[in-house]
Amino acid sequence: MTSASGGLHHAVLTRIGADLTSGRLGAGDVFSMEQIEGRYGVSRTVVREVIKVLESIGVATSRRRVGVTIQPESQWEALSPVIIHWRLAGPQRLAQLREVSELRRGVEPQAARLAAQRATPEQAERLQAAAAGMAETGPKGDLLTYLGHDIDFHRTLLEASGNALLAGFAPFVAEALTGRTEHDLMPEIPEQGAIGWHVEVAAAIAEGCPDSAEEAMRRIVSEAQEAMDEIEASGD
């Protein structure tokens, strides 16, 4: 796949996601490849790539002499970063972030506990560097650089758990963190207490203190959920 076709492929997926989350497309809608080409103005090659992705995440099925059929949302792969991205960009944004926060509360504190027992020295150093980067860029309001450090922190934490299933959760968290920033759901200056808790988690993991790592991580994910609850309650 060339870089041009790859760009078109992602652009079409984004447009399809917007059509789905807005209700312009719905379960049971059927399209031929020719109709998709015309609707989104792309080549047959790009359409094939897009259909493969849609099938892989449960959004559509493709059959000869039938076409591409949109599946009920209950069949979609809820943990797919593609679907999370769609929902964060659409009217389901706050509900999606709430679900992410609820799931993180059950996953990341345990990952932090395991990381305090299993992290390599290199992983511990990466966590401390990411937390230091957050502490430096957050107070300046440099949200994009802060986001990069935040994603690196949580990815490293999940990998350091030594559990492949927990490590596989990283793209999901990264998409949620990105969506919260891109859609202006972060304060202009990140919460200083949350930054401090990231520093505490990194230190506890480096020192091999599972209880402290778990407790500080629980504060982080609880604060994130409370922030989303406040935004949702305000209707902002």
Q: What is the pLDDT of residues 150-163, one digit of tens each?
A: 999 999 999 999 99
For residue 155, how many C-alpha atoms fall within 13 Å in the half-sphere facing its CB? Answer: 16
Confidence of residue 4 (pLDDT cuts 50, 70, 90): very low
Domain locations along the chain: 3-75, 93-234
Thinking of the domain 93-234, which architecture would CATH place it in? Up-down Bundle (1.20)
Confidence of residue 2 (pLDDT cuts 50, 70, 90): very low
Confidence of residue 126 (pLDDT cuts 50, 70, 90): very high
Query: What Rg value do the Cα atoms of the chain yield, rounded?
Result: 20
What was the pLDDT predicted at 234?
Answer: 73
Q: Give me the CATH code for the 3-75 domain, please.
A: 1.10.10.10
CA distance linking residue 187 with residue 16, whole number of Å: 30
Contact 213, 112 (CB under 8 A): yes
pLDDT at 95 over 50: yes
